Structure 1
Amino acid sequence: MKVIRIAAALLIGADGRTLLVRKRGTQAFMQPGGKIDAGESPVDALARELHEELGLRIDPQEAQFLGEFSAVAANEPGFEVNCQLYRLAVAHEVLPAAEIEEIVWVDAGKVDHLQLAPLTRDSILPLYRKLAV
């Protein structure tokens, strides 16, 4: 199986909820982030993607590494995503840009109404629930 290397953010808002995004032309919600370019560190890729997709400027040194996770890709059949996950606190407003069509803030419990990417559903949200306790 082909692997897509990504960096993603568990963004935590001031109210403790986390941000999920949905890309244009897709159904599944997932963490913000994206592909790591050749020669780019995961945290630098994350900073670039968060700025492109959400207008968010982060200090890479504030990103707390939470681990590496893998799952079947939500939008690329036959691919697996390998994700470097970082936790970041967000105090200001976030707006969808670039290929992001929709954003939603969710708490640890109420996501049954959303279609979720496998990585988000099976790995990241369970971790978020543990961290939120």
Structure 2
Amino acid sequence: MTREIVVSAAVVTDGAARALVVRKAGTTAFMQPGGKHEAGESPAAALVRELAEEIGLQIHEDDLSPLGRFETDAANEPGHRVVADAFLIEVDPASVGRSGEIEEIRWITAADAASLPLAPLSRDLLLPLLWNAPAAG
């Protein structure tokens, strides 16, 4: 039986077509920052808390733009599916840093993504939203 892991995830961009990805200690795949909800937390509240814990980013729920709910295979837990409420946020790269369980952070471009081990959620669903979006105009 496949188990679901419900999380909130952030597509964090610097406004110059780069996205922030993180790698947790003891893992190889990079992914969007975020994490599991605590009891009674809304998806946005969970993400605000997780971003503060993981990358030191201090934001408010109204800074987040909802992208939708996405489901795919979990990166680090075989036999599990991840169900993610995803949000977009643009930040100054200087406002983030590694903390908590995060071992590495990287700002990547679409070209970088081809050679980086990315979690299925990031690679297949979330990052394409940033890089394949139609140009405004």
Cross-structure match for 2:119: 117
Cα separation, 2, equivalents of 1:80 and 1:38? 20
The number of aligned residues is 133
Taking structure 1 as reference, are residues 123 and 113 closer, same or farther at Cα in structure 2, changes over 3 Å only?
same
How far did residue 132 of structure 1 move?
Answer: 7.1
What residue number does 2:43 align with?
42
Note if contact 1:16-1:132 (Cα within 8 Å) is conserved in structure 2. Answer: no
**Unmatched runs of 5 consecutive residues or more in structure 2:** none
Could you tell me which amino acid in structure 2 is paired with residue 65 of structure 1? P
Once residues 38 and 30 of structure 1 are traced to their aligned partners in structure 2, the CA distance between those partners, rounded to angstroms, is 23
2:81 matched residue in structure 1: 80
Q: Does 1:89 align with 2:90?
A: yes
Alpha-carbon deviation of 1:109? 2.7
Q: TM-score, normalised by structure 1?
A: 0.94
Provide the rounded CA distance (Å) in 2 between the counterparts of 1:92 and 1:107.
Answer: 14
TM superposition shift of 1:15? 2.7
Q: What SS does structure 1 have at the residue aligned with 2:6?
A: strand
Residue aligning to 1:10: 11
Equivalent pairs: percent with the same residue?
47
Secondary structure of the equivalent of 2:52?
helix
Deviations 1:14-48 (A, max 9, x none): 43311000000000000000001121000000000
In structure 2, the partner of 1:106 is 108
SS in 2 for 1:48: helix
- Asked if 2 retains the 8 angstrom alpha-carbon contact of 1:9 and 1:33, the reply is yes
1:44-80 Cα deviation digits (max 9, x unpaired) = 0000000000010011101000011011111111111
Q: 1-side partners of 2:54 and 2:28: how far apart?
A: 17
Measured in 2, the distance between the counterparts of 1:102 and 1:30 equals 11
Q: 1:59 to 1:132 in 2, by over 3 A?
A: farther
TM (norm. structure 2) is 0.92
**Secondary structure, aligned partner of 1:131:** coil
Matches within 5 A, 1:48-87: 48-87=49-88
Specify the code of the residue in structure 1 equivalent to 2:28.
Q
